[in-house]
């Protein structure tokens, strides 16, 4: 039986907020959060500068980014890492280091798929706001209008589901659910089954802030009922295909072609003595947890795809301006004191005095961060295949490497994006 634990999203980068099973052996199941962690890296990095201008600035930036990636991987003892830094003109650096599979020594590449956990919520929130803009839904619609008898606060609105002010309990905070997921890791779950574990509300709708994966499982059910289509189909038709995101998939609703990075648990957080969490299925990290999370956290993707997504979403190419304004209104939750200011499916996190928009993701064996800096239009995405390392530490290191080049201005004229491949 797997020992399963869940982390609460929204913790400050230096302060993991952990609600866990007392068991300390076996694999862990975790969702949505920030931890701090640490594998050794070696080898070299290469980059191809953009065409039409001097190769030196692009090559210098790529070298600094590659060095930062190697340094953090070595210090934090990461099994594998994938990163992307995107500039507003489309110039993108892609870096990767380490292993997707430690047993076979399969290296991470730019197309290796990682589980990105609660970054899933950015897709569900964008889809919801598109449908609101089209008059299919209303932000003030109560849960009871679409799902009569649903678990939680029936009077909570769609807006309150989106920004976690519904008061609805998080089923993943209960050891009864975690134990059930760990006992039979190869069994697929449905949202309805997961929602049976929702406990009593934490407060009346709108009276507090409490991060709950139930909010986005309920949103997934509402979206399907309102449109008659699966959320995975809608996300692919509206976002993934138009944006050319060919390496992003919603587990449980569509097949996930490889290659994939296995997720690892690192209880000691200091050595290569990691535990692989795979159940041998295509699901990341394993079937029960991936299917249980569904529209709250089951997307797999690459850093390159997520960089493209963040640029499009927060750059105004996915939602009309009024809908994007609703998404990015952090004032509604700021007074409720979330760990980070939270909009509609988006966190506001500050690095070195620079505000960023995006989301983190934590699932057993994986940790991810997607950050867009509105002041410069820069995007930084980091994906790792262990569940103890804080990816925002890597975001900060890559941001420092960019700043050392003189800021977020593109390092060369538009042209082919550089790629850094670090040999394990």
> In the chain, pLDDT over 70 holds for what percent of residues?
80
Q: What are phi and psi of 221, to 5 degrees?
A: -65, -40
Tens of pLDDT, residues 131-190: 999 999 999 999 999 999 887 788 999 999 999 999 999 999 999 999 999 899 999 999
pLDDT at residue 329 in the model: 97
300 domain-assigned? yes
325 domain-assigned? yes
Instruction: Name the residue range of residue 226's domain.
Output: 38-358+368-421
pLDDT at residue 2 in the model: 57
Find the radius of gyration of the CA atoms of the chain: 20
In the predicted model, is pLDDT for residue 343 greater than 90? Answer: yes
Q: What is the CATH number of the domain that holds 236?
A: 3.40.710.10
6 domain-assigned? no
Beta bridge partners of 93: 85
As a whole number, mean pLDDT of residues 29-47 equals: 28
297 domain-assigned? yes
As a whole number, mean pLDDT of residues 236-255 equals: 96
Comparing 61-75, 201-215, 286-300, 362-376, the range with the smallest average pLDDT is 61-75
242 vs 27, more confident: 242
Comparing 192-206, 247-261, 263-277, the range with the smallest average pLDDT is 263-277
Domain count for the chain: 1
Tens of pLDDT, residues 254-275: 999 889 999 998 765 555 568 8
Long-range pairs for 346-352 at CB < 8 Å and ≥24 separation? 346/122, 346/125, 347/10, 349/13, 349/392, 351/392, 351/395, 351/396, 351/399, 352/396, 352/399, 352/400, 352/403
112 domain-assigned? yes
363 domain-assigned? no
CA distance 119 to 379: 14
327 domain-assigned? yes
CA distance 152 to 196: 10
5 domain-assigned? no
Tens of pLDDT, residues 220-236: 999 999 999 999 999 99
Whether the CA torsion 124, 128, 133, 134 is positive or negative: it is positive
């Amino acid at each position: 039986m797997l020992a399963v634990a869940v982390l609460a999203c929204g913790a400050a980068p230096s302060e993991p907020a952990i609600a866990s099973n007392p068991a300390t052996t076996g694999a862990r199941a975790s969702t949505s959060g920030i931890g701090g962690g640490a594998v050794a890296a070696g080898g070299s990095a290469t980059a191809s500068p953009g065409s039409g201008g001097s190769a030196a600035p692009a090559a210098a930036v790529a070298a600094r980014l590659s060095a930062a990636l190697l340094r953090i991987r070595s210090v934090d003892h990461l099994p594998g890492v994938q990163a992307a830094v995107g500039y507003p003109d489309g110039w993108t650096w892609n870096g990767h280091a380490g292993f997707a599979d430690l047993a076979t020594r399969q290296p991470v590449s730019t197309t290796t798929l990682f589980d990105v956990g609660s970054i899933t919520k950015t897709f569900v929130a964008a889809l919801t706001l598109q449908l609101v803009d089209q008059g299919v839904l209303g932000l003030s619609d109560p849960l009871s209008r679409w799902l009569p008898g649903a678990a939680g606060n029936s009077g909570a609105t769609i807006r309150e589901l989106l920004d976690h002010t519904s008061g609805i309990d998080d089923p993943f905070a209960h050891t009864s659910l975690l134990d059930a997921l760990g006992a039979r890791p190869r069994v697929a779950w449905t949202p309805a089954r997961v929602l049976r574990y929702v406990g009593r509300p934490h407060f009346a709708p709108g009276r507090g802030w409490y991060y709950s994966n139930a909010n986005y499982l309920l949103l997934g059910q509402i979206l399907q009922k309102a449109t008659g289509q699966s959320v995975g189909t809608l996300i692919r038709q509206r976002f993934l295909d138009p944006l050319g995101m060919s390496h992003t998939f919603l587990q449980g609703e569509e097949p996930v072609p490889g290659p994939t990075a296995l997720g690892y648990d690192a209880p000691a957080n200091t050595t290569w003595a990691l535990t692989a969490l795979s159940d041998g299925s295509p699901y990341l990290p394993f079937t029960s947890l991936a299917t249980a999370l569904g529209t709250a956290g089951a997307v797999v993707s690459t850093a390159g795809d997520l960089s493209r997504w963040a640029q499009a979403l927060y750059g105004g190419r996915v939602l009309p301006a009024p809908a994007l304004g609703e998404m990015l209104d952090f004032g509604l939750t700021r007074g409720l004191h979330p760990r980070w200011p939270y909009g509609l499916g988006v966190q506001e996190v500050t690095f070195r005095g620079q505000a960023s928009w995006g989301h983190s993701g934590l699932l057993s064996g994986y940790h991810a961060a997607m950050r867009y800096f509105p002041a410069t239009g820069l995007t930084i995405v980091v994906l790792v295949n262990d569940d103890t390392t804080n990816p925002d530490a890597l975001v900060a290191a890559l941001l420092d490497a960019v700043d050392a080049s003189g800021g977020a201005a593109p390092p060369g004229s538009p042209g082919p994006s550089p790629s850094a491949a670090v040999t394990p």
